[in-house]
Amino acid sequence: MNRVVVVGSINVDLVVTADRLPRPGETVGGGQFSRHFGGKGANQAVAAARAGASVTMVGAVGRDADGDASLAALAAVGIDVSRVRRVDAPTGVAIIAVDRSGENQIVVASGANAEVSTEDGALRGLPDGPGVLLTCLEIPMPAVAAAVMAAPRIGLRSVLNPAPGQRLPADLLATGPILTPNRDELLATSGAADLEAALTSLATGGTQVVAVTLGSEGALLADGDRRVHFPGQPAEVVDATGAGDTFSGVLAAWIADGRSLDESVRAANAAAALKVTQPGARGGMPTRQQIEAALRG
């Protein structure tokens, strides 16, 4: 069974689409408003579920209407939400501005996501068996570290999306999680000045596998000393929000299904290109059948 356990954030996204993004201190009028479900963790869980994985979500939402709706949206795509705690803090909210080319600016109010604890990350009570742990940095670092450290105990291989980009603890890197940063997050995670120096630095720290998302340029897989570039797929970009989450979720689903790293990155790259053709963080996240069709085409 291709099991994926996601320990991460759950948000509601408030999105304004305008002709262009504002400069600091500037107001841009004429925008269109929409509301979507989001949070990097929840988005990645949805991407993995649509790609055919059996997904369990671990996180926290508020005791509010946004929390009710967020859990219902996850359950509707078959995700097990029994390990999502209800807390007194409000459900997380992201404020997103998107321009006509699909570029975005995002500000997040963590809310309940800040309540995800090391106890949540310890994964106690989950059954042993093969699969993938997928986590991100929109929850407290102690919870992320606890999950990555606990994953091998129950048979899970760790995939960490280091977003928002920041330095990672040495003991976490030493466990060798697969990292899925974009170019900026890669530099922030490693502290290096360029892509190759960053990959070398992370490999020295213990992380031998890094799948870097490069937007329209595709993706780069670094597996030890090996480098494989996967070209970008042609796509009419409507909204890039959630493309990285799609990549991470599909990568985890494919690895959990026993596919090779190269096969998994190729599928994730194709899925991200499909996602950007639709608005919203989860709009356009493809099904397994759509991903396989894109790979054949």
Q: Catalytic residue at 184?
A: no
Cβ contact 232:210 at 8 Å: no
Q: What are the C-alpha distances in Å from 48 to residues 19, 89, 213, 272, 286?
A: 32, 27, 17, 12, 10
Task: Single out the catalytic residue among 13, 66, 239, 245.
Answer: 245
The pair phi, psi for residue 65, each rounded to 5°, is -65, -35
Cβ contact 9:59 at 8 Å: yes
Indicate the SS3 state at residue 136.
strand
Using DSSP bridges, classify how beta strands 226-230 and 219-223 pair: parallel, antiparallel or unpaired.
antiparallel
SS (H, E, C) 12-71: EEEEEECCCCCCCCCCCCCCEEEEEEECHHHHHHHHHHHCCCEEEEEEEEECCHHHHHHH
Active site members: 245
